[in-house]
Each structure stands twice: as C-alpha cells, then as structure tokens.
Structure 1
Amino acid sequence: MIKLLHVEDDADIREIAEMSLSLSGEFEVTQCVSGEDALAQVKDFTPDVILLDMMMPGLTGRQTLEEMRKMPHLADVPAIFMTARAQAAELDELRDAGAADVISKPFDPMSLADQIKAVLGG
C-alpha cells in the first residue's frame, strides 16, 4: 500500500480524491484540512507521497512543504501540488520549490491514482 498524505481545505475535493484513490486499491489515504493540521499529523507519520493543495487559508501548500522539508523523515518524500492556477511560470516555481509534479484542478478522478503512481515511478 502507498501511504499518501492529502492536504486540501475543500471538503468536496477531499472526498473525490479519497474515493478515486480508494478505488485503485493501492493507496492508504490520510487527509488533512490545512497545512497546520498536516504538520501536526506528520510528526508521527511518514507518508510515501504528499498531495498538497496550493491555495489554502493559513499556510499555503508551498509553505506547508517548506516546513515539512525541515523534518528529516520528510526531506525526500515526493510532493505533488494540486492547483487551479496552473500557469507555466507557477508550475516552474512549484517544481523549483521541490514539487515532483503538479496536477491541475479540476483533476480527472479516473486518472489521479495513475498520475501519482507515475510520479513514484510505478
């Protein structure tokens, strides 16, 4: 099972992603409603991959990832951003910030698991 941490403030998107990933049968999904919530979760949890919303109240996805990267057990965990603002310049900026990939919203629930597995080399 691939342990995935999903950080997303929108309940509908959390639910769609959870259903999509659960259907694949290959993911164990832990969800958080904010960057702050995610940082509390990862103190005792090391996911195989992190799926982060970019725009959230409080800490943004990028700020959340920056804080996670300071934790030795999360320094090399692949991170994928989900954003509705997927302009080329922003995509490059997110990759420079350490994103393994960027998935545009609205995302395709049918291909989400495959997109994530592709990032993981699977």
Structure 2
Amino acid sequence: MSHRILVVDDEEAIREVVRIGLEMTTEWAVDVAASGAEAVALCTADPPDAVLLDVMMPAMDGPTTFARLQEDPSTRSVPVILLTAKVQPAERRRYDDLAVAGVLAKPFDPITLPAQIAGLLGWRG
C-alpha cells in the first residue's frame, strides 16, 4: 500500500538520507520540509498520511510544530513521529506527554527505518 509521508528536518543531509531510504525501500511518496513553518504550511494545504518530525530545529522546534498541527482540525489526525538524538528518560517522558505516534532515535539505520515507521503507525506491507 502506498502512503505519503512528510519528512521535516532543518538538516538537508538528514532529509535526503530519509527521503532516499524510504523511496528506495517502499512505495511511499516522500515530501520534505526544512522548517516547522514549512511543515505546517504543507500539511495544511494537503495533509500527508504521516509526518516524521525532527525535535531540534531553529525558530519552530518539533514539539511546537506538533502543537500547531494539533490546533488545526485539518491536520489534527495526522500521525507524527519525532526524530531525535535526545532519548534520555526525561526527554522520552516529555515526548510521551505530547501523545505523538512514536519517537525514533538518531542516528538511525535507513534500511530499518521504513519498518520502524510502519510498526509505529500500524501500516502493513
């Protein structure tokens, strides 16, 4: 089954590794955004099936971007997976409190990333 996922990260290299990895190993369509503001605009215009969202970004970080998506009825139901290098217990509790679909740790393995995303979202092959 084909899905459309939005990858949001301020680092171009991360966006490209994720995009290429997903496009090479799945049938998913992958869009990218370089900022929280760009992600909100893209999601509002045409909500994706899911968002993979970096936590640490300038101007509008991941949790703030997630909150903005939750405020809008057109994007409230879009599942969000946080992508972060901060996976200490206190940070994990903070992310759990946000009620995101999941959290994936950086660095990640681009080969297993699709299965991790699918598992968190309940998507089947």
Q: TM > 0.5 between the two?
A: yes
Deviation for aligned residue 1:76:
1.8
Q: Which residue matches 1:113? A: 114
How large is the Cα RMSD of the aligned pairs? 1.0
Q: Which residue matches 2:47? A: 46
Q: Deviations over 1:40-97 (max 9, x none)?
A: 1122111111100000011000000000111112112211000011111111211211
SS in 1 for 2:31: strand
The TM-score normalised by the length of structure 2 is: 0.93
Is contact 2:44-2:75 (8 Å) kept?
A: no
The count of aligned residue pairs is 122
- Aligned-pair identity in percent equals 37
Q: Which residue matches 1:73? A: 74
Distance 2:72 2:47 in 1: 10
The TM-score normalised by the length of structure 1 is: 0.95
Distance 2:113 2:27 in 1: 12
Q: Which residue matches 1:102? A: 103
Is contact 1:80-1:102 (8 Å) kept?
A: yes
- The runs of 5 or more residues in structure 2 that have no matched partner are none
